[in-house]
Amino acid sequence: MAAATLGIILPPDVAPERLIGLAQQAEAAGVEEVWLWEDCFAQSGLGPSAAVLAATSRIRVGLGLMPVPLRNVALTAMEIAALARMFPHRFLPGIGHGVLDWMGQAGARARSPLTLLREQAVALRALLAGDEVTTAGEYVRLDRVRLRWPPEAVPPVLVGATRPRTLALAGEVGDGLILAGDEGPEAEAEAARIALEARAAAGVEGAFDVVEFASIAASADLEAVRALRGTYPHATRIPILALAADGTPDRGDAIPALIATIAGAA
């Protein structure tokens, strides 16, 4: 198994106007990936992703993740397809439940989040593949919808999950899994096992990413960053969040130091 790709997370604690400059610093340093969060009610995900992609030329941009209750799947597919065509092989979109309390605040909380996520993931992947989709599910209803400009290089659809049923769903209907990393390496190993076993049971083939969000002090040294690969051996990608001295996400001032360390570790 190849060593996990290390990336930098630019969280919604960072003001939107600072994202481009930090992403450009990451690209100039040689970091392979920058990851953004969509967080109610701080920042959307697709607008900043598009801006960062347009302001850079090589670095991949991951988005973890877009809450499906807030979106019609046809619009999500249109937006992902547009970015994938403009910036092929550089956009890594993720979807998930979102924080259910926030979905309630927005008036979008679903009675069955798992059903909604399954219906959206299945329809989204079919639309991105260029298929015409007609479906009448509990939440997703499409009538002969086909993208006019499907992506030539179809991006992976990553699914965020924490609980067993959603982890299994990610394995069945996703191209990869996004894990928050809050519960440690044993939880990461168990989550990967659940997703991969469900994938095998469903007879699904093809590559499967395990994206493990990790956090570390912004002042961490090279060895501490490199050690994350050993901490999360099942991960294929490890986006890293810089923590300030008080343990909260850094707001951007110390992120350049961690960018340099990640570039050295890579």
Q: Which helix (H) or strand (E) holds 134?
A: strand 133-136
Q: What percentage of the chain's residues is helix, strand, coil (to nearest 5)?
A: 40, 20, 35
Is the pTM here over 0.85, yes or no? Answer: yes
Query: Is there a contact between 210 and 176 (Cβ–Cβ < 8 Å)?
Result: yes
Which residue type, as a one-letter code, is found at position 161? A
Domains defined for the chain, CATH in brackets: 5-157+212-265 (3.20.20.30)
- Average pLDDT value for residue range 87-92: 98
pLDDT digits (tens, 9 = 90+) for 131-181: 999 999 999 999 999 999 999 999 999 999 999 999 999 999 999 999 987
Q: Which two tokens stand for residue 214?
A: 């990790």
State whether residue 79 is helix, strand or coil.
helix
Averaged confidence pLDDT in the chain: 96
Cα separation, 77 vs 125, in Å, equals 8
Helix axis angle, 164-173 relative to 113-128, nearest 10°?
A: 10
**Which structure tokens are listed for 1?**
């198994």
* pLDDT score of 184: 84
Please, are residues 97 and 145 in contact by the beta-carbon 8 Å criterion? no
**pLDDT band (50, 70, 90) for residue 1:** low
Is-contact 239 33, C-beta < 8 A? yes
Region of residue 181 (phi > 0: left; psi between -120 and 50: alpha; otherwise: beta) = left
Cβ contact 90:61 at 8 Å:
yes
